[in-house]
Amino acid sequence: MKDESTKLLLEAFEVLSTELRDKIDGVHAGLKDEINNVRTELKDEIQGVRTELKDEIQGVRTELKEEINAQALKSFKHIEEVRADLKQDISQVHGRIDDVYGILDKHYSLLETDEMERLALSKQVDRHDEWIQRASKKLNVRYSTSQ
């Protein structure tokens, strides 16, 4: 009897072990499938987020490029305006310099004329002095120059 009850117990234990192993294997397979499903869902979700981030980054890049281009264009226009103003100012300065040169030329011409007139007057005074000296000798008049 003991052998028979041990045998029955062993058979029952084996049946229970097999059933338990089958249940564990089933649960394990279910969990494995569930984990694979969650993994697939996460991969898909990550891929979706990644795609969204790429699109967002591309959008930000595009916005930045447009903003940079707009700022560059604005800066270029400002530089062109400043350049035009500088050209005009430089042109005015050149005109003023030309005016100054004209005035200097006029003054130089006047100084040259004045110098020539002084030389001519000096020469004339020298000639007059010479005539007076000759005339004073002939007239027996004493003439002294105070130089």
Residue 34 has phi, psi (to 5 degrees) of -65, -45
Report the range of poorest mean pLDDT among 53-67, 90-104, 132-146: 132-146
Residue 1: predicted pLDDT = 63
Buried b (16+ CB within 10 A) or exposed e, 62-73: eeeeeeeeeeee
pLDDT tens digits, one per residue of 66-113: 999 999 999 999 999 999 999 999 999 999 999 999 999 999 999 999
Task: With beta carbons less than 8 A apart as the criterion, state whether 142 and 136 touch.
Answer: yes
pLDDT tens digits, one per residue of 11-45: 888 888 888 888 888 888 888 889 999 999 999 99
pLDDT tens digits, one per residue of 1-10: 678 878 887 8
Residue 15: predicted pLDDT = 86
Residue 75: predicted pLDDT = 95
At residue 147 the predicted structure's pLDDT band, cuts being 50, 70 and 90, is low
Q: DSSP readout, the chain?
A: -HHHHHHHHHHHHHHHHHHHHHHHHHHHHHHHHHHHHHHHHHHHHHHHHHHHHHHHHHHHHHHHHHHHHHHHHHHHHHHHHHHHHHHHHHHHHHHHHHHHHHHHHHHHHHHHHHHHHHHHHHHHHHHHHHHHHHHHHHTT-------
For the segment 117-145, the average pLDDT, to the nearest whole number, is 90
Specify the pTM. 0.44
